[in-house]
Structure 1
Amino acid sequence: MRIILSLLAGMLAQAVFAQSGNFYLYNYTVNLANTEAQNQAILQDSLGQMFFANTRGVMMYDGSQWALIHTKSTPYSLALGPQGLVMVGCQNHFGYLKRDIFGQYSYQIIAQPENQAPIRQIFTIDNWVYFYSEKTLFQVNPENFQIKQEWKAPENQPFGGIFALKGQLYLLVAQKGWHRVKSSRLEFFPSQAEWQEALLLAAMPLNDDRILLGLDDNSLWEFDGQNFKSYALSNAAYLTDNLLTGGIDFSEKYFVLATLSGGCIVVEKANGHIHQTINSQTGLPDNEIISLARDQHGGLWIGHAKGVSRADLALPIRNFSNYPGLRGNINAVLKTDSTLYVATGEGVFYLAKVDKMEQLVTLIKQEQREVQVVERNIQTTLQVLSNPFQSEPKEGPSESLDKDESLSKKEKRRLERQKRRDERRNPNIAAEETPASPQTQRPDTLQVKETTTVAAPIKTQTTTQIVRQPSEPDPAPSNPLIDIPFLYNPIEGIKVKALQLLPFQETILVATAQGLYEIQNLRQARLVQGGIYVYSLAISERFPNVIYLATNQGVKALRKDTDRNWLTFLEIQDLQEPIYAVAEKEARLWLAGSNHAFAVEIDPQGQVGQKRVYDFPNNYAETPLICTYQNQLIFALSTGFYQPDEDRKKLELATSQQVFFNPQTGIVYRQPGFFWTRPPGKAWRNLNGGSEGLEESARFLAFFGQIRDIYVDKQNNFWVVADEKIYRIQNEAYVARETFFRAEIRGAFLRGQRMPMGGMILPANARALRFELSATHYLKENDWEFQYRLEGLDKEWSEWNKNRDLPFPTLPGGKYRLRVKARNIFGQESAETVLEFRIRKSFLETPWAYVLFLLLMAFVTFGIIRWRTYRLAQANARLEKRVAEKTEALQTQQSELESAFEEISSQKEQIQQQNLQLQQSNAELEVKVEERTAKLKSTLLQLLQTNKELDTFIYRASHDLRGPISRLIGLVQLIRIDPDKQAIQNHLRLLEFTAQKMDNMLEKLTNIHVIHSDPLQYEKVCLRDFLEEIRKSLSFLPSFKDVYLIIPPNYPEFVFTDRILLGIILQNLLENSIHYRDPSPDVFSVIKLEMKADDNFIELKITDNGIGISPEVKERVFDMFFRGTERSQGNGLGLYLVKKATEKLNGRIYFRSDEKNLTSFSVILPHAQAREKPVLENAMA
C-alpha cells in the first residue's frame, strides 16, 4: 500500500497541468571510469562547459566528451568566481579550477583548514569570494587567493544556512537566528522560534528586492531585507510528502524546487502555482534530486541519484508518453477538439481525467504486479547465473526489499532532519552523544578572523519581523478527489494491434490487424469488418460516404448509409498479394502491393473494370505508400519515389521528386493533405503545401529519430509519434536566433601527445596532427555537425559532418589558421573559432637549401660533362683502330660467306618444305586420334548409362506395373463378391483411378521411347493454344484444384521448336510442381509459368511455393524413378523425361530452391527460326 501511495503522490502532482504535456527530457549516460552517479552541485562556466561536483572529483562535459578533474576529496559546491574561474568547495578544503596552455583543468587548493566541515556554498560579492560551511565562513581575495576574514560558528551552534540579497550576505546561526555579515561584524536579528532550530535548504530570488527561502520543515518564506512572511504553494502537501532538498531561481517567471522522493517541481513565482513536475512519471530515472542548475540556453540540469538529466523548459516540445495507462508500441496519434487518441500494438487509448480514484489505484496495482513479476524473473536469472551449477535458484530476499528501502529513504531523511533540529534546539543532546567541552550559556560574541582570529560584537537590530499571513491558513493536504490526474484509458472493444486512426464524419475509423473498427461516442468501438488485416485507410473523394481498405486480401470499399450501417461498395480480391495502400485518381483506383502496383478502372456505379499491373523495380517485397504531389501519384518505395510508366508497365524513378527522398528518415503520409519528408541536409517539409505558418514548427521535427506518424490538429499543434513516444510541438513555435553557442577546439594532439593551444609551434615534419572539436550546446548535441577550413592548405570549406576528430596526417612547414564552425539541428551556424599555429620548416624547405641544391647540381653536371668528353675521345681512338682491322677481315670473310650463303639458302628451302609437310601430316593425325578417342569415350559412357538405365527401367517398370495389375485383379474379385451397388461404384472408381495411374505410367514409358527414337520435328507452335492444351491435360489431376496457376500474358505468340518435346518438358514440370505442393492449410499454393523468346533462345521458367527440394536430394532429382519424398504420388519419371527432352533439343536445365520453399526450374532451348529449319535439323541429326 505504501508503494501505491507513493506512486499516487507523484501522479497527483501533475493534476491541473497534466494535459499540457511534460518537458523535453534527456537522460545522460556518463561513460567515465572511477565516478559515481551522485553529483552534489552543477555549474556552467563562461565558456559554456558544464561542471559537476561528483563524489570522485569534478566532472566536466563540453557537449562532446566527459572528463574527470581530481580534487583529492569529495567536492560539494561549485560557483563562478571573478574572471570566469570555477570555484570548488570540498570535504576539508576549497580552491578553484585552473586551465593550462593545453586546455586541461587542474584543481588548485586555496586553503585546507583543520577540523573543517564540507564547503556547502560559495558566493561572489563585490569581487570577494565567500566559502561557507556549517562551522566557518571564509572571505577570500580572488587576486592572490588569500583568506581575508573568517567567521567561526560557536561551539555546538553550527551555521544553519546562508543566502545573499542585494549584495548582502545573511547567516543563520543555531539557537540565535539570522545575522547580517558586515565587514568585521555580524548584525543579529531578533531570535524567533521559527528560525532558532531551522536549516536553510534553498534560497531563490523572486526579484531584485525579494528572496524565497526553503527550510528543512518544508516551509517557504519570503524575505525583503526586513521582514519574513510565509509563501503559499498551491500544493504544499507535495513538499511535505516528498521532503524539500533544495531549489534554484530559474527565470523571471519560475523557480524550481528539489525533493527527496518526488523529483522536482517548477513553480510560478507570481502565485505559487505548480507549473510542472519532473519525476519518474515524466521520464526522470530517479526521484531523489541532489542538485539543480540552469544553463545559458534555458535548460534545467538535474542531478539525481542515478546520474544527470536535462529538461528544456523553453523548448516548445512536450512529452505525452509518460502518463499511466498507455500500453504497447505506439503506431499512430490523432487529436480531436478535446481528446488525444493513441493507436498502439495493444489497442487504442485516449487521454482523460480519472472519473474515480479507484481507476487509478487499480491501474497502479496492475503495474505493480507486472513490475514484481519482472523483478522476480531478473532475480531468479541473476541467482542462476551466479551459480550455474545449482539446479534450483536459492531463495533470496523478497523483491520488494529494494522498494521498501527506497521508500524508507524518505523516512530516514526525516529522522535525520528531526535529530539535527533537536541538536540545534538543545546542544546537550549532541554533547551527551559526543563528548565536548561544556558550554551552558550562549556567547555574546561570534568569532571573526581577519588574518588572525578576533572577537567582533554582535549588533542587534530590532526592526526585523517574521510574519505569517493571517489570511493564508496552513496549506491543507492534497485532496485526491479534487486533484485527479490524467491517464490513458483503453477504448472498449479494441484489444488488437491498431495501425491507423482516421476521422470520418462524426466517428473515428481504426485500421487494425483483425479488421476495421469504428469509435463511436468517442469512447466505445464496434467491429465494422473483421477477419482481415487492414494496413491503411483512404477516404473516397469520388464516391460520397465511401472508405477504402487496403488489406491482406486485396481492397475493399465500404459505404455508410443514412442509418449509419456499413455496406460493401466494391471488392478486388484476385491480386495474389497483400495491398498496403490505395489512392484514387480520376476514374482509376491505384493499389500498392508487395511486388506490384495495380491500376483498376472503376465506373461511376462502382463496378470494377479493366486492371493493369505495373512491376516494381526490385524483386524483394516492399511495404509501399501512395502519395500525391502536385496532383501526381508518387509511389514511395524503400529505394526512392517512383511513378507508373504506362508504356513499359512498370514503375520508373521519379527523378524530379527524388531530391526530396531520404532513406534515413523515410516519409509520413497518413493525414489527408500532408505529405511529410525530410530532404537530405534540410528540414522536414509538407510536399502537399497547405502548411502556411507551419514551416517554423516543422523545424522542430529534427529533434526526433524515426518518426512513425505526424498529425497537425486544428490549432496547428504537431503531434508526433517518434522513438516509441508521443510528442506535441506547440503551435506558432519558432526557432530563436541562437547566440550562446560556439564551436570549440578542445585539444590539439601530435602523435597522440597533447599540445599547447596558445601560440602553438610544431616541429618540422609534423605527422599525425589531430584536433578535437566540440560545441558547448546541450540540445541533441550528438546530431551537431562541424565544418572546417585550414588556411594555408585548403581553399574551400569542408563538407558538414558529425565527425569531431579532425586529423591531418602530414603538413608541410608554414603558418596555418584553422577555422571551425558548428551547426545545430535547426541549421543555425555558430561564429567561427580560429586557432593559429605554425609548423617549423625543415632545412630542406629553406631558401639556403634550394641554393645549395642548385650549386651542387651545377657542379655535378659540369663534372659529368667533362668526364664523358674524355671518355668519348678515348673510345673514338680505340674504335678507329678496331674498325680498320675489322674492315680488312670482313672483306676476306665476305667472299667466303657469299658462297656459303647460296648453298645454305638452297638447303633451307628444302628443309622448310619438308617440315611443313610433316607438320600438316602430324596435325591431321592428332585430330583423327582425338576424334576417335572422344568418340570411343562417349560411346562407352553412353553404353554404361544406357545399361544402367535399362536395368533400372526393367526393374521399376515391372514393379510399378505389377502393383496396379494386382489392384485391378483384387478389385474385380471384390466386385464379384460384394453385390452392393454402392460398393460396386466405389470399386469401379478405384478401378478407374488405378487404370489412370497405369495409363500415366505407360505414357511416361512411351515418352522415353519417343525421346530416344523419334527424330526432331521442328514446327511453328502457337503458344496460346499450346498452353491451353497443357492446362486442360493438367486439370484431370486430383490436386490441380488446390493450386493457382499464373501464366503472365507477356509470352511470345509463336515459337519454332519440336512440339512433342516441348509438351513433355512443360507437362512434366507442371505436374512435378502440383505433386509437390505444400498441403498446409495456411499456405496458398501458387505456380507461375513464364516464357520468353528471342531470335536465338527460348526460355521457360516455372516457380512454385511448394515443399521445396532439400539439399540432400538435389543431385538426384533428374535420376530415373527417383522420388524426392515418400508422400509423392508420381512415378519418378517426370524430371528424368524433362532432362532427356531438353538434352535432345540441345538445351540446358537448372533449378533453384531456397529456405523460403520457393522452387524454380529454368529451361533454355535453341530457338530455330523458319528460315533456319534445314540447318538446325541437320545439326540436330
Structure 2
Amino acid sequence: MRQLFLAVFLVGVFNLYGQTGNYFLSHFSPSEKRYDNVCFAMVQNEQGLLYFATRSGVLEFDGRNWNLIPGKGAIYSLQINEHGEMFWAGAEGYGKLEANGNGFLQLKTWSKPDVKDVFQCLVVKDKVYFLADDALFMHKEADKPVRLQAGETTGAFTGLSEIFGMIYVNTEQGVRKVEKNQLVPASLNQADDDIIFTSAYQNMYMVGLANNKIYLCGENLRLREMVLEDQPYVSANVMVSGTWVNRDLFVLGTLRGGLVFVHAATGKTQEIINYNTGLPDNEVFALMNDKSQSIWLAHEYGFTRVSPYLPFRSFSHYAGLEGNLLCARAFQDKVYVGTSLGLYVLEKEELYEEIVHYDYAEVKTAKPAKKTEPLLPSTAKTQSKPEDAKPAPAEAQSKRRGILWFLKRKRAESTPAETTTPPSDEFDKKPEPTKDGSNPTLKPAYQRIKKVERVLRSAYYAYKKVSGIDAKITRLVETDGQLIAAGLGGAYAIRGLQAQALVEEPVRSVFHAAGEKILFISTYKDQLLTLALTDQGTWEENYMLDELDEPISFVFKGKEHEFWLCGVDKIYRLEIADQTVLSLESIAVSNPNFDALAGLYHGNSAVVINAQGFFRYDRAQKAFVHIDTLAKPIQYFASESDIWFRDTHRWNLFGQHPGQSNLRLLNLFNDLRFISADPNSENLWVITGNNELYKFFGEKFTPYEAGYPLLLKTIRNEAQQVRSGSPQFDQQKSSITFEIVQPDYLASKAIEYRYKLSGLDKEWSEWSDSYNIVNFPYLPSGEYGLQAQAKDIFGNVKDLPPVSFEVLPPYWKRPWFYALEFALFASLVLLSFRLSSRYMFISRILSLLTIILLIQFIQTAISETFETRTSPVKDFLVQVLVAFLILPVEGYLRKHMLRSLARNTALHRFVKPKTIKVEEKPEKN
C-alpha cells in the first residue's frame, strides 16, 4: 500500500509541470543470432526470472544473461500458476516446463502427437486451458483432460480469456462461455464483439473488445465503457493488448501506435510511448506488467521496459533537438539544452496528425408524391446503418490479434461500396398507408463517409533553436535573472529565442560571482575576462584580472567577498568588493596529470577535487591537504554547492545535500557526460554517454521492489553442469565455475557480488560487479560450501542459500580402495603362511612385500588425514613426521612376521614323516 501511495503521489507531482518529459525506457535484446526476437508472450516467476515465448523456444532472462530452452517448434503462449508451475502452448502441441535431474528447465509435452498449432493457454485456479483452432483442451491436475471440439455452430476458435474465473472463447460465430464442460452463448458481450484481452486488478476487470473500446467489469458482470481521451488514436492504431499497471494507471498496446498509458479514473492519456519518444518500433507483439510496476513490451527489435514511476524523465526525444548533448538547465519554466550545434529551448507546440476513419450519414431523399409507389429496393444504392459499424479499416481489424493472427482462420472479407442495397426481405411487406392516405416513408438510408480528424501526437513540446548561436555550447549559467550561454562561439545573454553576444571568442568556462554582479569568463587564450553588470542590465568588461593568464576551469564562492579560482596546478584565492580586487593569493595543489580542478566551500574551508582525490585548505599551513577519508574519484562533476563523484563502486555526493535519497539511482548509467542541479532543488539534469538527457527527481521516492532473491544459475566443470542439489566432482577435474545472479532489470550491471568458500577461505572476498562468476582452477578433495551475497544499487544485500558440494579424491585415495588394499594385504599374509611349509623362498618374498605395502598403506592413510592443504612444505614435513612415527611399527611387523616364518620352517625340518605299512597278502597256490 505504501508503494502504491508513493506511485500515485509521484504521478501527481510530475503532472504539476507542463514539460514533464517522457517515461524512462530500458531496451534489451538477445545478442545471439540464433535467438528469435519475435515474441508471442511473456511471464515472470516469483524469483524474478523472465520467460519469453518465441519461435526458437522459451527464452530465459535474468537481467544479464539469456538462456534458450529449446522446443521442437515455435512456442506461442506461456502461463504460470500461483505455485510457480509454467505451462506452454506451441506449434507441436502443449505441455509443462519441468526441471530435469540437474535442475534445468525443459519442455515436457502433454498433448498427443496429432495435436498441432495450439496458440493460447490460460491458467485459472487449478485448471489449465489450451486452445487450438479446432479444439479446447482442459487439464486439472491428474484428471483425464477434457476436449471441447469446434463445430458448425461455433466455427474456428480464435481467442481465450477469463473474467472472475469464467472462461470465454472467441469463435467465428461469436463469444461462447465454458459451463460444465460445454460451450454456451455468452451474455457478457452485449455488442457481440470479440474479447481482445482481459486484465484483472483486485475486484475489477478491464476488458478490451474488438471495437477498440475499453470496458470495466465488476462482479455483477456488467460492462461499463470507459471514455478515453484519445479514443480516435487508439481506434486508428488498432488496440491489440492491455494490462493494469496499478489501481490508477493502465496501458494499451496497439498494432501501429506503440503504448498508450491512461489514467483509470478519468480516461486521460498520461503518456504515449512510440517511436517519437524512444520506442524502437510501434508494433506491439506482447505486453506484460512486472513486479516493479513497470511494463514490458515485445517488438521487432527485442524488448523494452517502460518505468512510469522511476524518478527519471527523458527530454531528448522531443522533435527539433540536434547534435551531441553537452549541458542543460531549466530557466523560467523552460528547458535549455546546449549541444554541439548550438542552443535549443523546449517550447509548447501543437503537433497534430490526421486520423482517418469512416462513419455513416443518413441519405436525404425527396418525399415521394401521394399514391406513388416507393422505389424498388433493387434500384436504391443505400444501406441501413449497421449497429456495429467499426471505425477501423478492415485490413487493420484483421491484424488486431497481432502476430498470432496467421494461426486462425481468416474470416471472409468484403470491401463495402459507398452505398449498397439492403436485404430485400426488409421491404417485402407492402407498407400500410398512413392516415392521410400517403405512402409511409422508407426506412432511413445511410451512406459510408470518410472522415479525417486531427489528433494531438505524443510530443506536445518541440525544441526550437536559439538564433544567433551556431557553435558548440558547453556552459549554461543563471545570473541575476538572466541566462548566460558559453561555448566555442563565445558567451551570450539569452532572451527567449534570441542570443546577444557578450564575448565573441571561444570560451572555456563561465562563472557567476554571486552577490557581486560579476561574470568570470575563461577563454581559450588562457585569459580570465571579468564582466560587470550595469544598472541598465547590460554587461561591460572591467579588466580587473587582466594580469591572470592561466586557464581557469572552475570558480566557487568562499566566505564573504572571497572566491576561489581553480587553475592547472594552482588555486587562486581572490577577494573582491565593489567590483574591485582586494587581494589575490596563489596556492599550489597536487595535480600531476593536469586534471580539471573543481571545488566548493564546505565546513568553513575550501575543498577541491581532481583525479588524485579531495584536498582541504589548511589556513594555518596555507596549503591544500589530502583528505584520506574520501575515496579517489574516477569521475566527478561540481556545482556551486555539491560535488558528485564516482569511485570504484558507486556514485557519491559531497556538499550541502549529502542525504539525497535517490542518488544511487545514478548507478543506472556506466558513463555520464554531464550533471547539474536545479537551483534550490535536489533535482538534477543528467546527460548520459549515449546522448540521452534526463531530469532526475532526486528528492522523490520510487516504488521499487526490495529486490529479487539471489539465485544459483549453474555449477559446471569440464565434465558436468548442474543447477541444484549437492554435486560431486572428481579432483582431477576440479576446475569448478559457479555462476550466480540476482535478477534485476533496472541496473543489473551495477549489482556487486562477493563470496566465501567454506573449507578453503576464512574471509569474504571484496565486492565486485564481476564476481557473479567465480572460478576455482583447482580444489583439493574434501567437502565445501559456497556462500555468496549480492548488493544492488540501493544497498540491499541478498544472501545465497549455502551451496554444498564435494570434491572426490582420486580412486586410489578413496575408502573403498583402502579397504580393497587391506583385503589384499590380509590375503597375502595368509598366503605366505600357507606357502611357508613347502615354498619357503616364495613365502619370504610375500611376507616382505606385504610389510612394504602395509606400511605404505598406513603412511598414505595418515598423510591424507592430516594433509594441511595450505602449503606443499607443510605437507612434506607432515609426511616426514608420519614416516618417523611408522618406523617402529615397520620394525615390529618385520620382526614378528619373519620370526613366525622362521618358526614354521624349523618345525618343518624336525618333524619326521609318517611310515606307512603295507601288508602283503600270501599268494594262493
Q: Normalising to structure 2: TM-score of the pair? A: 0.73
Q: Which residue of 2 aligns with 1:1117?
A: none
Pair 1:813 & 2:781 matched: yes
Q: CA deviation at 1:801?
A: 1.0
Alpha carbons of 1:572 and 1:787: their partners in 2 closer, same or farther (altered >3 Å)?
same
Q: Which secondary structure does the structure 2 equivalent of 1:32 belong to?
A: coil
| Mean Cα deviation higher: 729-738 or 67-76 | 729-738
Alpha carbons of 1:836 and 1:22: their partners in 2 closer, same or farther (altered >3 Å)?
same
The 8 Å contact of residues 715 and 737 in structure 2, kept in 1 or not, is answered as: yes
Q: Which residue of 1 aligns with 2:665?
A: 700
Relative contact order (alpha carbons < 8 A, sep ≥ 6): 1 or 2 greater? 2
Paired residue type of 1:742 = P
Pair 1:165 & 2:134 matched: no
Q: Which residue of 2 aligns with 1:673?
A: 641
Q: Which secondary structure does the structure 2 equivalent of 1:240 belong to?
A: helix
Mapped to 2, the partners of 1:237 and 1:480 lie a distance apart of 8
Q: Which residue of 1 aligns with 2:749?
A: 782
Identity of aligned residues (%): 21
Alpha carbons of 1:752 and 1:636: their partners in 2 closer, same or farther (altered >3 Å)?
farther
Mapped to 2, the partners of 1:238 and 1:17 lie a distance apart of 24
Q: Which secondary structure does the structure 2 equivalent of 1:782 belong to?
A: helix
Mapped to 1, the partners of 2:223 and 2:38 lie a distance apart of 34
Mapped to 2, the partners of 1:857 and 1:475 lie a distance apart of 106
Mapped to 1, the partners of 2:472 and 2:629 lie a distance apart of 33
Pair 1:103 & 2:103 matched: yes
Residues 280-319 of structure 1 aligned to structure 2 (within 5 Å): 280-319=275-314
Alpha carbons of 1:746 and 1:731: their partners in 2 closer, same or farther (altered >3 Å)?
closer
Alpha carbons of 1:412 and 1:111: their partners in 2 closer, same or farther (altered >3 Å)?
same
Query: Of 501, 508, 519, which aligns to 1:547?
Result: 519
Mapped to 2, the partners of 1:484 and 1:426 lie a distance apart of 37
Mapped to 2, the partners of 1:357 and 1:52 lie a distance apart of 37
Alpha carbons of 1:206 and 1:658: their partners in 2 closer, same or farther (altered >3 Å)?
closer
Alpha carbons of 1:673 and 1:188: their partners in 2 closer, same or farther (altered >3 Å)?
same
- Give deviations 1:578-618, integer Å, cap 9, x for gaps: 3322345567654333x442537656465558766555645
Mapped to 2, the partners of 1:864 and 1:573 lie a distance apart of 100
Pair 1:502 & 2:468 matched: no
Mapped to 2, the partners of 1:729 and 1:42 lie a distance apart of 30
Mapped to 1, the partners of 2:290 and 2:456 lie a distance apart of 38
Query: Of 527, 530, 535, which aligns to 2:501?
Result: 527
Q: CA deviation at 1:292?
A: 1.0
Mapped to 1, the partners of 2:655 and 2:36 lie a distance apart of 51
Paired residue type of 1:58 = V
Mapped to 2, the partners of 1:231 and 1:298 lie a distance apart of 22
The 8 Å contact of residues 18 and 486 in structure 1, kept in 2 or not, is answered as: no
Mapped to 2, the partners of 1:605 and 1:207 lie a distance apart of 67
Mapped to 2, the partners of 1:486 and 1:327 lie a distance apart of 15
Q: Which secondary structure does the structure 2 equivalent of 1:201 belong to?
A: strand
Larger Rg: 1
Q: Which residue of 1 aligns with 2:139?
A: 140
Paired residue type of 2:93 = H
Mapped to 2, the partners of 1:741 and 1:828 lie a distance apart of 10
Q: CA deviation at 1:139?
A: 0.2
Pair 1:54 & 2:54 matched: yes
Mapped to 1, the partners of 2:229 and 2:500 lie a distance apart of 43
Q: Which secondary structure does the structure 1 equivalent of 2:761 belong to?
A: coil
Q: Which residue of 2 aligns with 1:183?
A: 180
The 8 Å contact of residues 662 and 678 in structure 1, kept in 2 or not, is answered as: yes
Mapped to 1, the partners of 2:728 and 2:401 lie a distance apart of 62
- Give deviations 1:1029-1083, integer Å, cap 9, x for gaps: xxxxxxxxxxxxxxxxxxxxxxxxxxxxxxxxxxxxxxxxxxxxxxxxxxxxxxx
Mapped to 1, the partners of 2:688 and 2:457 lie a distance apart of 33
Alpha carbons of 1:612 and 1:758: their partners in 2 closer, same or farther (altered >3 Å)?
same
The 8 Å contact of residues 283 and 300 in structure 2, kept in 1 or not, is answered as: yes
Query: Of 603, 607, 611, which aligns to 1:634?
Result: 607
Q: CA deviation at 1:673?
A: 2.2
Mapped to 1, the partners of 2:478 and 2:633 lie a distance apart of 29
The 8 Å contact of residues 132 and 138 in structure 1, kept in 2 or not, is answered as: yes
- Give deviations 1:1120-1164, integer Å, cap 9, x for gaps: xxxxxxxxxxxxxxxxxxxxxxxxxxxxxxxxxxxxxxxxxxxxx
Alpha carbons of 1:210 and 1:621: their partners in 2 closer, same or farther (altered >3 Å)?
closer
Q: CA deviation at 1:410?
A: 9.8
Q: Which secondary structure does the structure 1 equivalent of 2:798 belong to?
A: coil
Mapped to 2, the partners of 1:689 and 1:764 lie a distance apart of 57
Mapped to 1, the partners of 2:260 and 2:507 lie a distance apart of 45
Residues 1030-1179 of structure 1 aligned to structure 2 (within 5 Å): none
Pair 1:655 & 2:620 matched: no
Alpha carbons of 1:845 and 1:535: their partners in 2 closer, same or farther (altered >3 Å)?
farther
CA RMSD across the alignment: 3.9
Pair 1:834 & 2:802 matched: yes
Paired residue type of 1:504 = T
Mapped to 2, the partners of 1:475 and 1:501 lie a distance apart of 51
Alpha carbons of 1:233 and 1:606: their partners in 2 closer, same or farther (altered >3 Å)?
closer
Alpha carbons of 1:262 and 1:605: their partners in 2 closer, same or farther (altered >3 Å)?
closer
- Give deviations 1:769-828, integer Å, cap 9, x for gaps: 111111122111111111222222222222111122111222233332222221111111
- Give deviations 1:1069-1103, integer Å, cap 9, x for gaps: xxxxxxxxxxxxxxxxxxxxxxxxxxxxxxxxxxx
Q: Which secondary structure does the structure 2 equivalent of 1:630 belong to?
A: coil
Alpha carbons of 1:603 and 1:500: their partners in 2 closer, same or farther (altered >3 Å)?
closer
**Higher fraction of strand:** 2
Residues 215-614 of structure 1 aligned to structure 2 (within 5 Å): 215=210, 217-224=211-218, 226-354=221-349, 357=351, 413-414=396-397, 479-480=454-455, 485-520=460-495, 522-541=496-515, 544-553=516-525, 554-583=527-556, 585=558, 590-593=564-567, 595-597=568-570, 599=572, 604=577, 606=579
Q: Normalising to structure 1: TM-score of the pair? A: 0.58
**Higher fraction of helix:** 1
Mapped to 2, the partners of 1:31 and 1:839 lie a distance apart of 35
Paired residue type of 1:795 = K
Paired residue type of 1:291 = A
The 8 Å contact of residues 782 and 807 in structure 2, kept in 1 or not, is answered as: yes
Q: Which residue of 2 aligns with 1:938?
A: none
Q: CA deviation at 1:634?
A: 3.2
Q: Which secondary structure does the structure 1 equivalent of 2:701 belong to?
A: coil
Alpha carbons of 1:794 and 1:206: their partners in 2 closer, same or farther (altered >3 Å)?
closer
Alpha carbons of 1:113 and 1:704: their partners in 2 closer, same or farther (altered >3 Å)?
same
Q: Which secondary structure does the structure 1 equivalent of 2:797 belong to?
A: coil
Pair 1:721 & 2:691 matched: no
Mapped to 1, the partners of 2:230 and 2:723 lie a distance apart of 54
Mapped to 2, the partners of 1:855 and 1:801 lie a distance apart of 43
Q: Which residue of 2 aligns with 1:9?
A: none
- Structure 1 gaps of 5+ residues are 1-13, 362-408, 431-473, 868-1181
Mapped to 1, the partners of 2:599 and 2:412 lie a distance apart of 82
Q: Which residue of 1 aligns with 2:147?
A: 149
Q: CA deviation at 1:683?
A: 4.6
Mapped to 2, the partners of 1:698 and 1:410 lie a distance apart of 49
Alpha carbons of 1:18 and 1:812: their partners in 2 closer, same or farther (altered >3 Å)?
farther
Q: Which secondary structure does the structure 1 equivalent of 2:627 belong to?
A: coil
Q: Which residue of 2 aligns with 1:758?
A: 725
Alpha carbons of 1:604 and 1:765: their partners in 2 closer, same or farther (altered >3 Å)?
same
Alpha carbons of 1:223 and 1:604: their partners in 2 closer, same or farther (altered >3 Å)?
closer
Q: Which secondary structure does the structure 2 equivalent of 1:696 belong to?
A: coil
Q: CA deviation at 1:509?
A: 1.4
Alpha carbons of 1:644 and 1:173: their partners in 2 closer, same or farther (altered >3 Å)?
closer
Residues paired across the two proteins, number: 743
Q: Which residue of 2 aligns with 1:976?
A: none
Mapped to 2, the partners of 1:482 and 1:32 lie a distance apart of 36
- Structure 2 gaps of 5+ residues are 1-13, 355-391, 415-448, 819-857, 864-878, 895-925
Pair 1:795 & 2:762 matched: yes
Paired residue type of 1:334 = R
